[in-house]
Amino acid sequence: MNIDPGLIADSLKSATKKGATFAEAFCEQTSTAGTSLDEKRIDSRTTGLSKGVGIRVVNNSRVGYAYTSTFTPEGLESAVEAACASAGVGGAISPSGKGIDANLFKGDNRSVPLESDEFRDPAGVTAERLREIDEVARSYHSSIAQASATIAQSQREVLIMNTAGVNVSDTQTRTRCVVQTIAKNLDGIQSAHEAPGRSVGSEFFDVFSVDEIAKIAAQRSVTLLDAKPAPSGNLSVILKKGAGGVLFHEACGHGLEADHIDKAQSVFAGKVGKQVASQLVTLIDDGTMGDEWGTYRFDDEGNPSNRNILIENGILKDYMYDVIRSTKLGHDVSGNGRRETYEFVPMARMTNTYLESGTSEVDDIISSTQYGIYCVALGGGQVDTVTGEYVFGVTEGYMVENGKITYPIRGATLIGNGLQTMLDIDAVGNDFDTWTGTCGKNGQGVPVSAGQPTLRVSSMTVGGTAA
């Protein structure tokens, strides 16, 4: 990233001279590259470059924010002036309340050089992979009518400095492969997709086989063609490893973010030390988790990523914090301050959120279930963090009858309450997998992963379409 740290330091000094009690600069440069194939041809190749600096100023309990894409003294000074004005610096009266303790912004107070991690996958190789995906998907079954795929990479370089002594930099590289298939027969059309991602460069393809990604998407759409309408009622629900990650991310994770706690907009508020889940449940948020989609070395406030235990053996242990909330609530920072780009203020966000594995054999979980559904993949959903109520669609599911997986179903919806669902988990498997996605909150999207072992919820409301 071509920016002079001395110029950033001067901007922070300017903010303090104007009266700010704390000032922070978040510098970012993100490069993106993507290639897509549709209808057996390369449909598009795109590249992008975004760069800018966000200036945050604190004046007691009042926060101001402004940003610029101009890396010049004039551009930075304009952003500083706008942020200071927003924070009421220079004569404005700030609201009463607890001020920000600048010491909590310190992170680990060390400077880390940027790593060089070039996009090493030439367009020709990417196109070859995409054509292979198309061929594998179409050859999976005669009912596959369409296939499309995209391989996308991004490289994000950040430099974070503040007046409390933070001076850290990092490079975050991510690669994702998205495959969409459409299957047709005389009874209708069904679509499905598969979209793994990792925080790595082209070595992504050393871990994931494009053939396997294509086959999963194709199999899912073909299976749906013969699926029967899902039943309705209170049923046992088995969530295959990884499949339920998005459910717990939405129904539980958001309610454990400290801004929701601070505003009393969470069903988990005031419950630290209390049982909120089955004793089989330990819920973790871990920004250090290997090369998962939500992994980073430093959050977007310059604090080191952490492994945070949220729920342990069913007992609520802690929440996830950004600096503002940790200061207000008198808690240490947890490395969860995140933002979409330099244009946004950071807030408390999840990273890689997952339930730890248990001891049950997956076959035993299935064989001990008399009647229920087996969810292989979940789709979109909605959740109310205040009440914990949620609704999620099942994109691939099967009936379980007398301890055996029988026929595929479609049109199933899971309806429940996050707290109650956690309490009703009565079996946790010894396997594990994750789900890759983009988490939306207050208009910002950030990369996250969620995961869990195969597990069973003893009773859950299933909305189906069967007569």
210 plus 326 within the same structural domain: no
Name the band, by pLDDT with cuts 50, 70 and 90, for residue 123. Answer: low
How confident is the model at residue 446, as a pLDDT? 97
End-to-end C-alpha distance for the chain, whole angstroms: 60
pLDDT in tens, 433-458: 999 999 999 999 999 999 999 999 99
Name the band, by pLDDT with cuts 50, 70 and 90, for residue 121. Answer: low
Residue 207 lies in a domain: yes
221 plus 240 within the same structural domain: no
More confident residue, 5 or 118: 5
**pLDDT higher than threshold 90 for residue 340:** yes
The average confidence (pLDDT) of the chain is 91
179 plus 307 within the same structural domain: no
Q: Which of 197, 226, 255 is the last residue of a domain?
A: 226
Q: Which of 226, 242, 273 is the last residue of a domain?
A: 226
* 456 SS3 class: strand
pLDDT in tens, 293-302: 999 999 999 9
Residue 382: count of CB within 10 angstroms of its CB: 11
**pLDDT higher than threshold 80 for residue 124:** no
Lowest mean pLDDT among 26-30, 42-46, 111-115, 359-363: 111-115
Name the band, by pLDDT with cuts 50, 70 and 90, for residue 267. Answer: very high
Residue 74 lies in a domain: yes
Sign of the alpha-carbon torsion through 358, 360, 361, 366: negative
**pLDDT higher than threshold 60 for residue 6:** yes
Name the band, by pLDDT with cuts 50, 70 and 90, for residue 108. Answer: very low
Among 2, 147, 21, 175, smallest CA distance to 83 is for 21
C-beta separation of 417 from 273 below 8 A: no
319 plus 357 within the same structural domain: yes
* 423 SS3 class: helix
**pLDDT higher than threshold 50 for residue 56:** yes
C-beta separation of 265 from 385 below 8 A: yes
433 plus 367 within the same structural domain: yes
Distance, CA of 433 to CA of 343 (rounded, Å): 33
222 plus 242 within the same structural domain: no
Residue 117 lies in a domain: no
Q: Which domain holds residue 215?
A: 123-157+169-226
How confident is the model at residue 90, as a pLDDT? 64
Give the CATH number for residue 138: 3.30.160.150
**DSSP H or E segment with residue 388:** none
> Quick one: how many helices (H) and strands (E) in the chain?
10, 23
How confident is the model at residue 373, as a pLDDT? 97
b/e 271-300 (16+ beta carbons within 10 angstroms → b): beeeebbbebbbbbbbbbbebbbbbbbbbb
279 plus 400 within the same structural domain: yes
Question: How many domains, in total, are found in the chain?
Answer: 3
389 plus 451 within the same structural domain: yes
Q: Which of 226, 245, 260 is the last residue of a domain?
A: 226
Residue 334 lies in a domain: yes
Burial of 241 per CB tally in 10 Å (0-12, 13-18, 19+): buried
More confident residue, 118 or 70: 70
Strands 444-452 and 352-355, how do they pair?
parallel
Burial of 309 per CB tally in 10 Å (0-12, 13-18, 19+): middle
Distance, CA of 431 to CA of 94 (rounded, Å): 53
211 plus 83 within the same structural domain: no
Name the band, by pLDDT with cuts 50, 70 and 90, for residue 113. Answer: very low
Q: What is the pTM of this model?
A: 0.91
- Over range 151-160, report the average pLDDT: 97
Residue 115 lies in a domain: no
- Over range 396-409, report the average pLDDT: 97
Lowest mean pLDDT among 115-129, 402-416, 444-458: 115-129
23 plus 153 within the same structural domain: no
- Over range 32-40, report the average pLDDT: 94
137 plus 94 within the same structural domain: no
Distance, CA of 315 to CA of 283 (rounded, Å): 10
How confident is the model at residue 115, as a pLDDT? 37
How confident is the model at residue 285, as a pLDDT? 98
302 plus 260 within the same structural domain: yes
How confident is the model at residue 383, as a pLDDT? 86
Residue 39 lies in a domain: no
Give the CATH number for residue 18: 3.30.2290.10
